[in-house]
Amino acid sequence: MTLSADVVIPTYGHYELTERCLRSLGHQTIAHTVIVSDNASTDDTVEQVRASFPDVVILASEANRGFAAACNRGAAAGSGEIIVLLNSDVDPRPDFLEQLIAPFSDDDVGSVAALLLQVDEKTIDTVGVTVDRTLAGFPRLQGRPAADAVAPHPALAGPSGGAAAYRRTAWEQVGGLDERIFMYGEDVDLALRLRAARWRTVAAPNAVGIHLGSASVGGQRSRAKQQHLSFSRGYLVRRYGILASRVAPRALASEAIVVVGYALLEHDLSPLRCRIDGWRAAKGLPRNPAPPLDAIDRAIGFRESLRLRRRIHFG
């Protein structure tokens, strides 16, 4: 029996991307419900979706409260056994949902990661996320040929929020996405909390979507993206007690190198300020439980971690 699924698409403008995504979902091989959770788009996205896709549930917010809030709002509006998060800049293949949901036939699977390809359809954008010892998250297998999507390493921590599936009972058990994170890093945090709650995660390399890439925030090196990345990193470092752990020296060195490098190249200290803001936002909050050891890829050394960080921050 196919499990019921709600596909939640958070939007903020760029209706042309949303339209393309919705038309592709219309060709899926299994039934599903689509919920568009709009974050106060400044264009006519809400009106266009209502006019062109009458079967789609549209939730319109009066303010942009961020990716996590939009996803949580969309998930709460549905009742499907599986919650699928899909960015509007992802073009899913016709059997995407069927392949993504199939692993949930195992009752201990709490989340599933899709394969996102870059626009050339030959290069991996991500197959979920992986984390190093400091719990810094990275797109898994990024830049490698599509054939490598079945590779077991680096270790899979959980799905990327751009194309992810979650068992609703698992999602609700850990409280969904942390809305204190406006954008970036919330999927890593959810992955770690699910793993700490002993839910298993798997990759579905046959669930393929084409990722157009950071279109909603102005591109890979946009200032807004760097600020959101920096805030979430500062926030999660404190939530997981990284600076009170044995990896504190490595974490401090890594963050310092990223901040100084960005300041030298871009003449911008906002990554430092935003890390501090994120740290302060976590003040007084309980520490998140540590994930199991198999959720962390200990093979990602210091130099490799810096290389991956450079790709995230500088493209």
pLDDT 10s digits, 7-65: 999 999 999 999 999 999 999 999 999 999 999 999 999 999 999 999 999 999 999 99
What CATH number did the domain enclosing 68 receive? 3.90.550.10
Contact 142, 113 (CB under 8 A): no
Bridge partners of 111? 166, 201
Measure the CA–CA gap between 300 and 177, rounded to whole angstroms. Answer: 26
> In terms of domains, do 212 and 247 share one?
no
Domain boundary among 216, 248, 272: 216
Domain boundary among 177, 192, 216: 216
> In terms of domains, do 65 and 106 share one?
yes
Residue type, 278: G
DSSP 12: -
> In terms of domains, do 228 and 211 share one?
no
> In terms of domains, do 206 and 276 share one?
no
- Mean pLDDT, the chain, as a whole number? 95
Model confidence band, residue 214 (pLDDT cutoffs 50, 70, 90): low
Answer whether 0.85 is exceeded by the pTM: yes
> In terms of domains, do 172 and 206 share one?
yes
Distant-in-sequence, close-in-space partners of 162: CB < 8 Å, separation ≥ 6? 85, 86, 87, 89, 90, 116, 126, 187, 211
- Total domains, the chain: 2
> In terms of domains, do 81 and 169 share one?
yes
> In terms of domains, do 44 and 10 share one?
yes
Q: Read off the tokens for 256.
A: 């310092």
- Residue 213: is its pLDDT beyond 90? no
Residue type, 115: L
- Distance set, CA 105 to CA 3, 109, 112, 167, 171 (Å): 9, 8, 11, 11, 17
| pLDDT tens track for 58-100 | 999 999 999 999 999 999 999 999 999 999 999 999 999 999 9
Q: What is the pLDDT of residue 314?
A: 73
Domain boundary among 216, 231, 253: 216
**Domain with 71 in it:** 5-216
> In terms of domains, do 185 and 227 share one?
no
> In terms of domains, do 140 and 10 share one?
yes
Model confidence band, residue 173 (pLDDT cutoffs 50, 70, 90): very high
> In terms of domains, do 146 and 256 share one?
no
Contact 170, 199 (CB under 8 A): yes
> In terms of domains, do 180 and 59 share one?
yes
Bridge partners of 203? 113
| pLDDT tens track for 224-277 | 889 999 999 999 999 999 999 999 999 999 999 999 999 998 899 999 999 999
Model confidence band, residue 127 (pLDDT cutoffs 50, 70, 90): very high
- Residue 315: is its pLDDT beyond 90? no
> In terms of domains, do 104 and 173 share one?
yes
Q: What is the pLDDT of residue 104?
A: 98
First to last CA, the chain: 43
Q: What is the pLDDT of residue 180?
A: 98
Q: What is the pLDDT of residue 222?
A: 77
